[in-house]
Structure 1
């Protein structure tokens, strides 16, 4: 997508739009129409970000726009509701007058328009890709830090991963949706809990500081995909204790002498890594420590697995697991469950629909049946206080959220 910089070019392009040869997604910006029609929504958003950022090189890309640029996939909900405009950062000295034709919004970031530093970044050599559709690890390899708050990726100035996490948590988007993006950014850029804590301390002046501290405390780089993050967000919001992610457990059924060609229906790996794990002591309290095998006397261990259908049909996933077809994948899953049961663990399986439908009732029922403990009354009161103070009821369980939203709407009328 490119901008028509003179009136003659603009008129010519508009005639081509009428003929169907070009599209004009933004006033004055044109792109080949057949190409635009074939792009999925996420790639359309990326093309728009690059087009506007290229025309305004000293405007740092921010918030969800920066997350896309940095390689974090966004859900359809976020792409539809929070990415119709491109977010840029502006500093305390720059006037933000409304843009009549550009679909842009601005977030305040102190000293984000330091032109001397930006010029140095543009002059320095940085990894570069010819494609704007960089995602995941490819985007992380292209990113170079400029300051604690800014970086450059593919020639575009953007907020740093940590600053992007902060602005997303301040965005007002539902917490579960935000957590999936923040988890992915933390995983891609090797951001630890200590890094997040240290960075949030630099934002102590913010009115939203206490709310952001709560939200950021649950970010975990061990979450492997957005679905798992949404599931964990549901667990957190419904008041369950946080699980531990991707703990390594020795596989009691591992046979080093079994040839790979004969292990198509066996989960013959040295270790197992469950999606979610709760280690509970004699009193039923969650213990965040390495899992000992066998379990200490009186301890329980509950494992939850989020199941998708790709592993039964995706050729690459089948090949990587040494499965020839969906039947092999099914038998491997059962073999894995048996290994965990031999160790004395309780295993729960749930799907994405169990997380999203009916406010996650099915998932909550499973966790309650497995006796996963809930947060303390003190913690519940703290969350309610934060929700009321900041007007962000997305951090509450579905029942309380509905109650307070109804109450607020009643008072409003």
Structure 2
């Protein structure tokens, strides 16, 4: 392929700035398209290009940020919103929420998706005025981001965003409540507001709790501390706990991969040692009054029937179809 030094320099600069490249002239556009045809480049968004080999090394959320940084330069008046804003703020979320494209605020009536993968969220002038800069990118406030994500994402995908935002900012629930008062679609954000919990340790646990709520299981107490009655210094936290009539106590534990592989979580123990500790933990919890325990992992969340079956076998109660979403928390 014919070399084009100027394009090489554009690509190198874009990679240093961790963004995509976009053409400023017709000549640059033609040169970039030639490389795209040869397979050297990818085109993740209309008018944006990146080295194919470099792009494949990026995680999906970083791919989103590379597009956003380029578009912020190309369209400085844009304010990024919804799932895109969640990525910019660094909030917990599933990468799959970006499959529908990027989100920006729009002053026009109606919220919709263009055929180019650009989603527009209708907003009043105040939403633009209250936007902030995150990583030098214009983006909706965290409270507005939580409310918008509640409206454009399924509940279980929006909850990790809300939980992590609440954990970062203690005043967030009040801020979200204020935002809800300014928008037309309020039901989904109000539901998120009623369930957000800063005690959630990670996005996987929030995702699991969201699925539990969608499947009408009683909403659990999260990160409850169990204390050894013989030794108060000996204690465990239960990921999900249900306190039921008849002094029944049910516990469900989320086994994220990090519990086995992250040295900061395993205290650099081997997987065998970690599993042994889990067995001992379950024995202790049972001795301290826990009725039954089950474990589940991320694969169970991706096939929710597996999670439903495990929780049903554990004995977690479910509300009937159509029950108001005001479960005990």
TM category, shorter: 0.7 to 0.9
Counterpart of 1:387 in structure 2 is none
Q: Distance in 1 between matches of 2:180 and 2:258?
A: 41
Q: Distance in 2 between matches of 1:97 and 1:105?
A: 6
Counterpart contact for 1:22–1:32, Cα < 8 Å: yes
CA deviation map 1:189-211 (0-9, x unaligned): 2246xx42553354346443234
Q: 1:235 to 1:367 in 2, by over 3 A?
A: farther
Counterpart of 2:149 in structure 1 is 168
Q: 1:357 to 1:276 in 2, by over 3 A?
A: same
Counterpart contact for 1:279–1:301, Cα < 8 Å: yes
Counterpart of 2:21 in structure 1 is 2
Q: Distance in 1 between matches of 2:224 and 2:120?
A: 40
Specify which structure has the higher proportion of strand.
Answer: 2
Q: Which blocks of at least 5 consecutive residues in structure 2 are unaligned?
A: 1-19
Q: Distance in 2 between matches of 1:97 and 1:310?
A: 37
- Across the two proteins, how many residue pairs are aligned to each other? 305
Find out whether 1:364 has 2:306 as its counterpart. no
CA displacement at 1:27 relative to structure 2:
3.3
Question: Taking structure 1 as the reference length, what is the TM-score of the superposition?
Answer: 0.65
Counterpart contact for 1:90–1:112, Cα < 8 Å: no
Q: Distance in 2 between matches of 1:367 and 1:332?
A: 21
Find out whether 1:248 has 2:225 as its counterpart. yes
Counterpart contact for 2:148–2:189, Cα < 8 Å: no
Q: Distance in 1 between matches of 2:157 and 2:261?
A: 27
CA displacement at 1:12 relative to structure 2:
2.3
Q: Distance in 2 between matches of 1:382 and 1:41?
A: 36
Q: Distance in 2 between matches of 1:29 and 1:358?
A: 36
Counterpart of 1:190 in structure 2 is 169
Q: Distance in 2 between matches of 1:107 and 1:70?
A: 18
The structure whose Rg is larger is 1
Counterpart contact for 2:143–2:179, Cα < 8 Å: no
Counterpart contact for 2:158–2:192, Cα < 8 Å: no
Find out whether 1:312 has 2:293 as its counterpart. no
1:326 to 256, 268, 271: 271
Counterpart of 2:295 in structure 1 is 350
Counterpart of 1:261 in structure 2 is none
Question: Taking structure 2 as the reference length, what is the TM-score of the superposition?
Answer: 0.79
Counterpart contact for 1:337–1:347, Cα < 8 Å: no
Counterpart of 1:158 in structure 2 is 139
Counterpart contact for 2:112–2:121, Cα < 8 Å: no
Q: Distance in 1 between matches of 2:135 and 2:179?
A: 28
1:279 to 243, 255, 274: 243
CA deviation map 1:176-201 (0-9, x unaligned): 122223222322x2246xx4255335
RMSD: 3.2
For the residue of structure 2 that corresponds to 1:349, the secondary structure is: strand
Q: Which blocks of at least 5 consecutive residues in structure 1 are unaligned?
A: 118-146, 256-268, 285-297, 384-413
Counterpart of 2:17 in structure 1 is none
Counterpart contact for 1:90–1:113, Cα < 8 Å: no
Q: 1:36 to 1:161 in 2, by over 3 A?
A: same
Counterpart contact for 2:151–2:189, Cα < 8 Å: yes
Counterpart contact for 1:240–1:374, Cα < 8 Å: yes
For the residue of structure 1 that corresponds to 2:199, the secondary structure is: coil
Q: 1:205 to 1:66 in 2, by over 3 A?
A: closer
Find out whether 1:23 has 2:23 as its counterpart. no
CA displacement at 1:328 relative to structure 2:
1.2
For the residue of structure 1 that corresponds to 2:322, the secondary structure is: helix
Q: Distance in 1 between matches of 2:323 and 2:43?
A: 50
CA deviation map 1:234-291 (0-9, x unaligned): 2212222211111233345769xxxxxxxxxxxxx743211012233xxx2xxxxxxx
Counterpart of 1:69 in structure 2 is 88
For the residue of structure 2 that corresponds to 1:380, the secondary structure is: coil
